[in-house]
Chain A
Amino acid sequence: MKSRKTLRFMDSVVTHMILIAVCFIFLFPCLWLILASFSKSGSIYSFDGFFPSEYSFDTFRMLFTDTEMYNYPRWFRNTLFIATMSCLIGTFLVILTAYTMSRFKFRGRKAIMKTTLVLGMFPSFMGMIAVYIIMTQFGLINKMWGLILIYSSGAPMGYLTQKGFFDTIPGSIDEAARIDGATNFQVFLKINLPISMPIIVYTALTSFVFPWSDFILPKLLLKEKDLYTVAVGLMSLGETEFARFAAGSVFIAVPIVILYFCLMRFLVDGMTAGAVKG
């Protein structure tokens, strides 16, 4: 009896130690970057061992005030605009695509699904040169709307997760609504949409995060410094600007965290919002 208790205790200790070690491995780089962003000297080489020797808010102040060469506030605004618009349009398109594929049977549906599945297997950067040439022809180089167009129009390609969610909503709900005289649009808007909140939130988050942190496409399409996104701007920093880089990298996480906390409620609420009753 006693040995079983000891065994259970040991098991718990080992499990917790492994979990702590794993947490530490994931947390440490973030912690290091956050501390580095508060480094007073601004140089990685003046650190006292692994961590800065002195701390201050100067780097964050400089990030938003010293904008002659590196206009972080502008990069931030650009990124926010691109990510927000891509998120809104992309989410709308993905949900519509997924709902259509889930609820309607039409000719070529299977073929479209198979094609999108295969196309989705190719890495997106494969078509970068073609994208660049097409965008030059449309005059969308150096235009933030060009990026939004690409992000939004590419988003429905990843509709399968959302379709999976709509597939789990029983068709009997739709039938009940239709018996009561609801049109297709009303069924979608008033019945399915409210109970699909978790997947909408998930879609919105992913549609926001990808353009928010993407580097390749903005680097390719935005040539002017005033149009840089944060990812491109941070990559353009000089070699002695490590603290600015660290501060910029830390601050870029702020909107994502805020968005996550704002939308987290809907993830849970949506799960309990709808069900087939009695």
Chain B
Amino acid sequence: MRRKGYRFLAALLCAGLLAGCGAGSGDGNDGGGAQDGQNTQTDGGDGPDLSNIYSGELEQNVTIRVLENDTAIEQGYFQELIDAFNEAYAEYGIVAVDANMDQYSNLADDGPYGYGPDVLYQANDVLMKYVDGKHIYPIPVQELECYSQIPERAWEAYRREIDGVTYHMAVPVNVQTGMLYYRKDLLPEDWETAWDDNANGIPDMIENWNDMYRFSQQRMAENEGQFGYMRSMYDVYFSSGFLFSYGGYVFGSNNTDPSDVGFSAGDSWMGASVLLQQSELMNEGCIDDTITVNAYSKLADGTYFATMTTPDVYTLFLKELILAYQAQGMDEEAARALAEENLVMTQVPMLPASADLSEENPELIPLKTMGGVNGYAISAYTKAPNACLAFVEFATSYEMVMRRCELLGIAPARSDVAENRGGTSEMIYQKLEEGNVVLMPSVTEVDQIWTPAQSFFSDLAKDAFREPGEKKYDDPEKLKAGLAQVDQQIHDAIFTLSGQ
């Protein structure tokens, strides 16, 4: 009797296991309609056939919830966008509303339970994380008006090959990368004669890091409490660009192969050497995120001359500078005008090919910067994919991206907008085109790069404050070893610790 019972139990367990195997061969995700859409697509014509997701017939009388970033909401752009869209699609009864959620909310957490947005605007590394869980729908981008206007490099950030078919998971809108912010009124009075060797009207310290280094030394010599260029070195997003400029990279095969980690590739140690030299002219705030957080007020009160950060925080710098001028007795209007004139956001300086910041007349190479592409994606949990697609097309139209540029000062991914706007927008666009913006990898393994790289950069910055006998990175071999260790740690994190 007992034996029979055991046999029955064993049979039940086997059946359970087999059933489990059957389930495993599916998609392993309860994400609803998303899987059906992706698994049945075939390559055809200009892009994959997505007609099983997008029937082409607009859903009538639906409300689509759109997740936008805080700056767009704060500056009033988002309200303009949804007002214009709602007016244009009033005849279909389609209404776009603010998803009213945190800009960093995770679709993978909320979407499956029906609480996520229908359309979301986030960075490429965030959006592409949703692809593995099939939380977002692919988009028939070839059918969109903006397709030909957006450069290949921006599309690459949203491309994913599944079963031999290439899909685009979002539509790029805005390119984010490091820019140099500085105060024009803190330039030396004689800069046009003493700091403009090539007489091109641009101060030398803005054009190359060697002169920025010299100027930082001069400012510190004049007043110990003042600095030239300041940046939190531990911030991988900004510091890694120095490594990339000398041959480093994040992942191999164009950032798609996580088995090949390349922070130590090429002569990337030279980039680390540049960072080390820069740290020597900063205070200990460069070891952690102190400078990142205080740069707004320190640039405003004149303690720092320049810093590097993304274009989307321009208004924060401006706000602090206006307050600083007001504190000096100016009225708000005059303070604003002066702040707008004196706060300059421009492209980052060039690097010396030798990585020696004290070299006179060095050969210069461009500084590559890590970047991201923010774009619109469509949730796989939406009940109105066609209406969402219409919204994405509307929001990425020339008029709306141009308006976004005007109000938010973003760098557009659209070439026509970049060209017509000129200035910073065009500058960043060109940089992207030339390959000097290294886009954050759009694979989930990118999560593992931050902590090891952060520890290394932090330790590197600390080296500037160690006693001569205690320095850890005082020769190239030690820098190379440090970077190789970063690669190993990232590799281990991806393939050992996370169990891949």
Does any Cβ of A come within 8 Å of B55's Cβ? Answer: no
Interface range on chain B (Cβ under 8 Å from partner)? 20 to 34
Q: Is the CB of A238 within 8 A of B115?
A: no
Among residues of B, the one whose C-beta sits closest to the C-beta of A226 is B100
Tell me how far the C-beta of A221 lies from the nearest C-beta in chain B, rounded to whole angstroms: 10
Does any Cβ of B come within 8 Å of A142's Cβ? Answer: yes
Does any Cβ of B come within 8 Å of A184's Cβ? Answer: no
Q: Is the CB of B100 within 8 A of A225?
A: yes
Q: Which listed residue, B74, B110, B301, touches A223 by the CB 8 Å rule?
A: B110
Question: Given that A141-B115, A224-B100 are contacting pairs, would A69 and B298 also be in contact in the complex, using a CB cutoff of 8 Å?
Answer: no
Residues of B within 8 A of A239 (CB): 293
Q: Is the CB of B301 within 8 A of A46?
A: yes
Residues of A within 8 A of B115 (CB): 136, 141-142, 223
Residues of B within 8 A of A41 (CB): 297, 323, 327
Does any Cβ of A come within 8 Å of B416's Cβ? Answer: no
**Contact mask A22-65 → B, CB, 8 Å, 1/0?**
00000000000000000001111110000000100000000000
**Contact mask B277-301 → A, CB, 8 Å, 1/0?**
0000000000000000110111001
Question: Given that A69-B74, A238-B70 are contacting pairs, would A45 and B102 also be in contact in the complex, using a CB cutoff of 8 Å?
Answer: no
Residues of B within 8 A of A43 (CB): 294, 296-297, 320
Among residues of A, the one whose C-beta sits closest to the C-beta of B293 is A239
Residues of B within 8 A of A46 (CB): 297, 301
**Contact mask A81-93 → B, CB, 8 Å, 1/0?**
0000000000000
Tell me how far the C-beta of A268 lies from the nearest C-beta in chain B, rounded to whole angstroms: 45
Does any Cβ of A come within 8 Å of B88's Cβ? Answer: no
Q: Is the CB of A69 within 8 A of B70?
A: yes
A35 to B316, CA, bound (A): 23
- The A/B interface has a contact count, at CB < 8 Å, of 47
Interface centre among A44, A46, A54, A141 (most CB of B within 10 A): A46
Q: Is the CB of B102 within 8 A of A236?
A: yes
Tell me how far the C-beta of B170 lies from the nearest C-beta in chain A, rounded to whole angstroms: 22
**Contact mask A116-146 → B, CB, 8 Å, 1/0?**
0000000000000000000010000110000
Residues of B within 8 A of A6 (CB): none
Does any Cβ of B come within 8 Å of A168's Cβ? Answer: no
Q: Is the CB of B296 within 8 A of A240?
A: yes
Among residues of B, the one whose C-beta sits closest to the C-beta of A136 is B113
Q: Is the CB of A223 within 8 A of B294?
A: no
Residues of A within 8 A of B100 (CB): 224-226
Does any Cβ of A come within 8 Å of B101's Cβ? Answer: yes
Does any Cβ of A come within 8 Å of B23's Cβ? Answer: no
Does any Cβ of B come within 8 Å of A68's Cβ? Answer: yes
Tell me how far the C-beta of B97 lies from the nearest C-beta in chain A, rounded to whole angstroms: 11
A68 to B71, CA, bound (A): 11
Question: Given that A141-B113, A223-B105 are contacting pairs, would A69 and B293 also be in contact in the complex, using a CB cutoff of 8 Å?
Answer: no
Tell me how far the C-beta of B403 lies from the nearest C-beta in chain A, rounded to whole angstroms: 19
Does any Cβ of A come within 8 Å of B73's Cβ? Answer: yes
Residues of B within 8 A of A42 (CB): 323
Q: Is the CB of A68 within 8 A of B301?
A: no
Residues of B within 8 A of A45 (CB): 293-294, 297-298
A248 to B294, CA, bound (A): 21
**Contact mask A225-264 → B, CB, 8 Å, 1/0?**
1100000000010111000000000000000000000000
A236 to B319, CA, bound (A): 20
A225 to B100, CA, bound (A): 5
Question: Given that A45-B293, A46-B301 are contacting pairs, would A68 and B74 also be in contact in the complex, using a CB cutoff of 8 Å?
Answer: yes
A41 to B327, CA, bound (A): 9
Residues of B within 8 A of A223 (CB): 101-102, 105, 110, 115
Interface centre among A43, A45, A54, A142 (most CB of B within 10 A): A45
Tell me how far the C-beta of A172 lies from the nearest C-beta in chain B, rounded to whole angstroms: 55
Interface residues in B432-464 (C-beta closer than 8 Å to A):
none
A236 to B101, CA, bound (A): 11
A45-B297, A46-B297, A225-B101 known, 15 other contacts, Cβ within 8 Å: A41-B297, A41-B323, A42-B323, A43-B296, A43-B297, A45-B294, A68-B73, A136-B114, A223-B102, A223-B115, A224-B101, A225-B102, A238-B70, A239-B293, A240-B296
10 contacts between A and B (CB under 8 A): A42-B323, A43-B294, A43-B296, A45-B293, A46-B297, A141-B113, A141-B115, A223-B110, A238-B316, A240-B296
Residues of A within 8 A of B (CB): 41-46, 54, 68-69, 136, 141-142, 223-226, 236, 238-240
The 4 closest A-B pairs by CB, nearest first: A45-B294, A43-B297, A136-B113, A224-B100
Residues of B within 8 A of A (CB): 70, 73-74, 100-102, 105, 110, 113-115, 293-294, 296-298, 301, 316, 319-320, 323, 327
